[in-house]
Amino acid sequence: MQWQKMLNSVALVCLVSVGLNAPGLAAQQAGDGDSPSQQQEHDPQQQAGEGVDFFIGTIKPLLERTCLDCHGPDDQQGRLRVDSLQSLLDGGISGPSVVPGKPEESLIYERIILPPDDFMVMPATGEPLTEEEQQQIRQWIEQGAIWPADVIVGSPPAPEMDDVAGVEVAGVEVTEDEIAAMNQVASSGAIAMRLAQSTNWLCVDFSLTDTEVSEEHLGLLEKMPNLYELSLAGTAITDAGLARLSGATNLRRLSLQNTVITDAGLEHLATLHNLRYLNLYGTPVTDQGLKHLESLSALERLYLWQTEVTEQGAAQLKEAVPGVDINLGN
Ligand code: HEC
């Protein structure tokens, strides 16, 4: 019964990567309070899940196709980038470009609906957006500008978790302790669930909670031998906090993007021998820190956009871990 409860709270990071057809995520999106009242009859969790699908299926490809060339890693016209929610909230020269819930106050919407011959219309060159595309952007902002923390516009798709359906399905036996820990994590507002119905492997996602991840919560993670996927993206996790993960040797995917983790924190990951995916996008790590990752022989994907890591540092890691695909964002 407790497991059922966990299954009902849906992990965003699982939803995105495993493609579970799950009902929604227990997330508080900025701007929820501004949702039009007619939507309040719907199940808010289901709505948020649909919002994630809408973002990934429609808005992300639209931004990539029509805006990214001039507002991405290579070029920041108007000092604006559209490849993360944060950069849209920060905006460019004129201030915030997106105000969640308020398309009329959102510069990206204002600029795409200008008449095609207006010199301010966006995109600045090429075909203007169709009316349908304009409405899609409008709808996305209106519904709170849902943007899962680990999805970066312009990045290659996250690796498939092909092993979930295969031989590794079972996981290890679930103990009472682990169930209790899961329930405690779930009741803190984080997302905690099984990866799939047929497995004991667990997924925990703190990325949508308050940024604080307490010592107590990190302690709970130590009681979860089935922990397979963990997101601490955008939280206030510290280098010292990461020490609590060093026993999570079954962990396959770890999202630490947009945190203050430094080289010293990476030292605590050296024992995670099963780690396949590690996202360090937007952290201050350097070449020095990558040395701690040389023991991670199973590593397949490493995201290092907007870090201090150089081409040489990446090449050196690749020598130690030949199977790793390193994304420096250029
Ligand atoms: C061919 C290049 C190009 C493309 C493609 C493009 N833009 Fe721009 N954009 C610019 C330039 C140049 C500026 C700065 C001058 C200006 O504000 O008109 C700008 C400015 C902006 C600004 C104002 C930023 C600020 O704070 O002043 C917004 C908002 C914007 N673009 C949104 C978009 C969106 C949304 C798309 C995709 C639908 C897009 N742009 C596609 C060139 C481009």
Taking residues 150-159, what's their average pLDDT?
Answer: 58
pTM for this entry = 0.51
Confirm or reject: Cβ of 70 under 6 Å from ligand 1. Answer: yes
Phi, psi of 160 (to 5 degrees): -70, 145
pLDDT tens-digit readout, 268-302? 999 999 999 999 999 999 999 999 999 999 999 99
CA of 83 to the centre of ligand 1 (A): 13
Q: What's the CA angle centered on 84, arms 269 and 240, to 5 degrees?
A: 25
Identify the residue whose C-alpha is closest to ligand 1 atom 14: 78
Stretch 49-61: mean pLDDT, rounded?
Answer: 84
- Residue 285, CA distances (Å) to 76, 156, 276, 309 in order: 23, 21, 19, 7
Q: Using a 6 Å cutoff on CB, does residue 141 contact ligand 1?
A: no
Closest CA to 219 of 195, 248, 199: 248
Q: Rounded to an integer, what is the distance from CA 215 to the centroid of its chain? A: 22
141 has a pLDDT exceeding 90:
yes
Non-local CB neighbours of 144 within 8 Å, separated by 6+ positions: 29, 30, 31, 32, 34, 35, 51, 100, 101
d(CA 276, CA 124): 40
Pocket test for ligand 1, best of 64, 71, 89, 137 (most atoms within 8 A of CB): 71
Give the pLDDT confidence score for residue 237 in this predicted structure: 93
What domains, with CATH codes, occur in the chain?
A: 30-142 (no CATH), 162-327 (3.80.10.10)
How distant, in Å, are the alpha carbons of 178, 215, 223, 248 from that of 202? 10, 20, 12, 12
* DSSP-based three-state secondary structure for 325: strand
Per-residue pLDDT averaged across 235-241, rounded? 93
Contact between residue 103 and residue 138 where contact means Cβ atoms under 8 Å apart:
yes
Query: Has residue 166 got a pLDDT over 50?
Result: no
Reported confidence tier of residue 198, pLDDT bands at 50, 70, 90: low
Proportion of the chain above pLDDT 90, given as a percent:
46
- The CA-to-CA distance between both ends of the chain, in Å, stands at 47
User: Please, which pLDDT band fits residue 321 given cuts at 50, 70 and 90?
Assistant: very high
H/E stretch holding 130 reads none
Please tell me the predicted confidence (pLDDT) of residue 201: 84
